[in-house]
């Protein structure tokens, strides 16, 4: 496809496969295979990517090589916006040492999920974010960006309904804590388009100068792309997605794959947005993903059906 920016609004697609996508995988992908896969994604045009989680290997063996992967990705792809997740200061320090450009600090809107995920209450995790941000500011310029990611913002398998007021209050508290951006995550894939419109509008209205980050959507109930369209209608211009539709949260029972990157790119480009991503190369990169995770089921309608020839003609 032709990658052009003139006359088309830009939408950022953040690839989360190497982080969110792998954390629920049955097998552990070898470091060399991860690096080859990431290189193929970069070659396809991805410029923003979650590459690792800095969590205890005993809890998530898929991320045991987080520091090595992050450092080697930064060395090989200096223009890539390398994003990582870290739940605490220890993880943040390791992420900084490895060269991460953005660090996501997870805060759950659901008290039950917060206890299962980080063994803290929501208020305790917000306080931890404030402490981390303060310590990073004390370290002077050159620090990575801190993005507070609100998980289970649209519902929780442990708690059930998560009141929208809880999500809004959490977002405001994180903005006051000093986060550079606050993002909403549909961890379980329960969101509906109406809910996305409502919550995005409400949160953005109360965040003030702090930007709303990417919308992180899962496709558990088949509403992922519909929710993307709802986000676009509300002015969201950044979305997370996973190559091959991999993903899920091990601390949120029932969570399945993310929105598939290939399908998201097809939708966005078809709707007149510029992603800068070569869809043909993105689909071909699935071969490396399958080789690195043999036996893992990959998802995606566009990869299964093929890119329509009419779509190529329209580019």
Whole-Å CA distances, 141 to 70, 101, 135, 144, 145 = 21, 13, 12, 9, 11
d(CA 293, CA 312): 30
Q: How many CA atoms lie within 13 A of 80 on its CB side?
A: 27
Task: Tell me the CA end-to-end span of the chain in Å, nearest whole number.
Answer: 6
Mean pLDDT of 68-75: 99
Lowest mean pLDDT among 99-103, 129-133, 247-251, 285-289: 247-251
Candidates 216, 208, 257; CA nearest to 238 is 216
For the cut 90, the answer to whether the pLDDT of residue 125 exceeds it is no
Whether residue 36 contacts residue 29, with contact meaning beta carbons closer than 8 Å, is answered with no
CB atoms under 10 Å from CB of 81, counted, come to 17
State the catalytic residue, choosing from 52, 98, 246, 249. 249
| Full DSSP string of 55-86 | S-TTT-GGGTTHHHHHHHHHHH-TTSEEEEE-
Residue 287 three-state SS: helix
Whether residue 55 contacts residue 87, with contact meaning beta carbons closer than 8 Å, is answered with yes
Whether residue 147 contacts residue 213, with contact meaning beta carbons closer than 8 Å, is answered with yes
Mean pLDDT of 114-118: 66
d(CA 194, CA 87): 30
pLDDT tens sequence across 166-202: 999 999 999 999 999 999 999 999 999 999 999 999 9
Radius of gyration of the chain (CA): 18
Catalytic site residue 249? yes
For the cut 50, the answer to whether the pLDDT of residue 145 exceeds it is yes
Whether residue 206 contacts residue 216, with contact meaning beta carbons closer than 8 Å, is answered with no
In this prediction, residue 158 carries a pLDDT of: 80
d(CA 218, CA 195): 14
Nearest-10 crossing angle of helices 89-98, 66-76 = 30
Percent of the chain topping pLDDT 70: 91
pLDDT tens sequence across 258-305: 999 999 999 999 999 999 999 999 999 999 999 999 989 999 999 999
Residue 241 three-state SS: strand
Phi, psi of 107 (to 5 degrees): -135, 125
For the cut 60, the answer to whether the pLDDT of residue 255 exceeds it is no
CB atoms under 10 Å from CB of 228, counted, come to 25
Structure tokens at 55: 């969590």
Structure tokens at 208: 């003030």
In this prediction, residue 13 carries a pLDDT of: 99
Domains present along the chain, CATH in parentheses: 12-314 (3.20.20.70)
In this prediction, residue 4 carries a pLDDT of: 46
d(CA 288, CA 281): 11
Mean pLDDT of 45-57: 97
């Amino acid at each position: 496809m032709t990658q052009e920016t003139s006359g088309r609004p830009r939408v950022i697609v953040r690839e989360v496969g190497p982080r969110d996508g792998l954390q629920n995988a049955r097998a552990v992908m070898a470091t060399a295979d991860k690096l080859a896969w990431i290189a193929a994604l970069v070659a396809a045009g991805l410029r923003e990517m979650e590459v690792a989680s800095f969590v205890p290997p005993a809890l998530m063996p898929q991320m045991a090589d987080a520091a090595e992967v992050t450092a080697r990705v930064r060395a090989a792809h200096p223009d890539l916006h390398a994003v990582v997740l870290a739940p605490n200061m220890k993880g943040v320090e390791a992420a900084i040492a490895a060269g991460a450009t953005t660090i996501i600090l997870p805060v759950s809107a659901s008290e039950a999920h917060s206890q299962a995920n980080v063994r803290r209450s929501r208020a305790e995790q917000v306080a931890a974010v404030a402490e981390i941000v303060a310590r990073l500011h004390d370290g002077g310029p050159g620090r990575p960006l801190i993005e507070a990611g609100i998980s289970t913002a649209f519902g929780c398998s442990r708690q059930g309904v998560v009141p929208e007021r809880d999500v809004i209050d959490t977002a405001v508290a994180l903005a006051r804590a000093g986060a550079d951006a606050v993002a909403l995550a549909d961890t379980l894939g329960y969101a509906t388009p109406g809910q996305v419109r409502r919550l995005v509008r409400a949160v953005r209205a109360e965040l003030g100068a702090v930007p709303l980050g990417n919308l992180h959507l899962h496709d558990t109930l088949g509403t992922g792309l519909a929710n993307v369209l709802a986000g676009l209608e509300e002015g969201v211009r950044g979305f997370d997605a996973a190559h091959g539709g991999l993903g899920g949260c091990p601390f949120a029972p029932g969570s399945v794959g993310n929105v598939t990157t290939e399908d998201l790119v097809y939708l966005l480009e078809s709707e007149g947005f510029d992603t800068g991503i070569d869809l043909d190369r993105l689909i071909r990169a699935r071969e490396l993903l399958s080789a690195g995770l043999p036996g893992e089921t990959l998802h995606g309608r566009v990869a299964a059906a093929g890119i329509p020839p009419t779509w190529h003609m329209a580019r």
